[in-house]
Each structure stands twice: as C-alpha cells, then as structure tokens.
Amino acid sequence: MIVVLVVVAVGALSGLLAGAATRRWPNHDPAAPSIGPGSPVLEAPTGRRARLRALWRSRLDPEVATGLALTLAVATFVALLAVAGILLLMVRTETGVARFDLASARWGATHATVGSTDVLRRLSLLGGTAGVIFVAVVAGFVEYRRLPDRAVPVLLAATVLGQFALTNGIKEIVERARPDISQLTGFAGSSFPSGHASAAAATFAVVALLAGRRRSRSARAVIAGVAVAVAVIVAGTRVLLGVHWLTDVLAGLAVGWAWFALWSIAFGGRLLEFGAPADLAERVSSRG
C-alpha cells in the first residue's frame, strides 16, 4: 500500500500549502468598502461607455477589493497556461520534468498490489466524467439553496463541461502515446494532458469558490486545501495506475486550474458582488 500512502501524502501536503496561501488571501468584504477621499468607488463616471470602462478597470484594479481578486485570477490564468506550454515543450524535447516520466511509471508498476490498485481506482473516480458531474450537481444544488444566484449553475456548467472540451481538444492536437507498462485501469484517447487531473482541478476549484462564499477566513482555507488535495490525489492515481505520464497529470492540473481561473474572472462580477462598492458609495453620496 506504499503507493497509496505516497499519493495521499503528496495530496495532503499540497492541500496544506494551498490552505495556508488561502488563509493569507486579503480578507476584504466587497459589500463594506472603506469610503474616503480619493477612493475609486466615489469617482462615478458618466455615460454608458464610461461606466463600462470603469467596471472593467475595477475588475483589474488591485486597489479595489474584488479587483484584487480578479487581478490575481488573470495572473494565475496566464501563469498556468504558460506552465502547460512549458511541460509540453519538455515532453517534446525530453528535458526537465519529462526525464522523470518513465521512472515514476516504473515505480508505480513495481510497488502496485491488488489492494493498492483497488484503492487508487476508487480515488481516480473522483476525476472521472461521472464523478465530477455528480460532485458539480450536488454542490450546485446545495450552494444555490444556501446563497441563491443564477450565476451558480451557469458557472458550474461552463467550468466543468468546458474543461472536457478543452482537454480533449488539446489531446487531439498533441497525440501523445500513453505508458506501455502495467496499465492497471481503463483509459481512452491520447495521454497529454490528463483528463482526470484537469477535470478534478477545475471541478473542485469551482466548488471551493462557491462553498467559500461568506465563510470565515479559516473555513475558506480548509475548503481550498481540500479542493487542491483531491485534485492532486486524483492526478497521482493516474500516474501510479500506469495510464499517464507524470508530465501529463501536471499539465492536466495546470489546464484545469487555468480554465477555472478564466471562468472565475468571467463570473466574478456576479459571485463576488463587484457592483456593491460603487452602489454603496452612490447611496452614501446621495444622502450627503
């Protein structure tokens, strides 16, 4: 069972790091901004074009609470796409992390047992098509009941279903062969990037975003940590089951989280209440 212990340990460590990073995330409340002289929320533009321009600036302005979130989301999206591209370059040139692909596949095959393979298969289901759709549907129902917002089902559908199309499209272009040693579970399509890793990364990230709304800092840290841990564990199972190379699952995680970051930008205005600071400022100004 050493392979199970290793993959769970790596996932747990990743989750702890993600939770610690989330706990340090700025804890601004978009619905209660600080309003003072020179505050950007008091500079109300006139005209439709000016209002649209001001809205876009607020989504990327680090001085605005929710703008900071989007600034970091944009940076994350770009950085993760770059990571996926670099990994593909490593695969093509057989350099960098790609040099560990064969060694990791052989290690998983050497230490596999009947019991460990069964556990890894079950954990891997969390990133399968049926698994992520089930998680998304249940989470969407629960979160819509808790904090109703029409953006919730649309965000879930765009994130979960969209990543399938993106990942499969990349697979068709890259056409990388899968490992040919001790494939211990079913698979389909080419190898790069890992569809299970991408699906788990995107799905559990968007669920964490929804579940973290109006939670305490500590609760958001725990939720984010669990989401990252599950995605990393799913990715690890695909390597240890012999159906993906290490670089496949790393690229899958990058693609999944990048896709989530993109849609968190698109729907952030609804879920993070971007209009609240400006609306509040307008009401305060009108009373004066």
111 is catalytic: no
User: The pTM is what?
Assistant: 0.78
**Is the separation of the CB atoms in 110 and 245 below 8 Å?**
no
- pLDDT grade, residue 25 (50/70/90)? low
Averaged pLDDT, 229-233: 96
Lowest mean pLDDT among 64-68, 156-160, 197-201: 64-68
Report the alpha-carbon distance of residue 114 to residue 281 in Å, rounded: 63
Decide which of 213 and 31 is more confident.
213
**For residue range 57-66, what is the model confidence (pLDDT) as tens digits?**
655 554 454 5
**For residue range 65-88, what is the model confidence (pLDDT) as tens digits?**
455 566 777 788 888 889 888 998
Q: What is the mean pLDDT of the chain?
A: 79
Q: Which of 59, 176, 196, 220 is catalytic?
A: 196
Residues 6+ apart with CB under 8 A from 22: 220, 221, 224, 225
Considering only CA atoms, which of 200, 257, 254 is closest in space to residue 230? 200
Domain ranges of the chain: 2-13+65-115+126-273
**Is the separation of the CB atoms in 136 and 203 below 8 Å?**
yes
Q: Which of 244, 247, 248, 249 is catalytic?
A: 244
Query: What residue type is 79 in one-letter code?
Result: A
CATH number of 2-13+65-115+126-273: 1.20.144
Report the alpha-carbon distance of residue 194 to residue 185 in Å, rounded: 14
196 is catalytic: yes
Q: With 50 as the cut, is the pLDDT of residue 123 above it?
A: yes
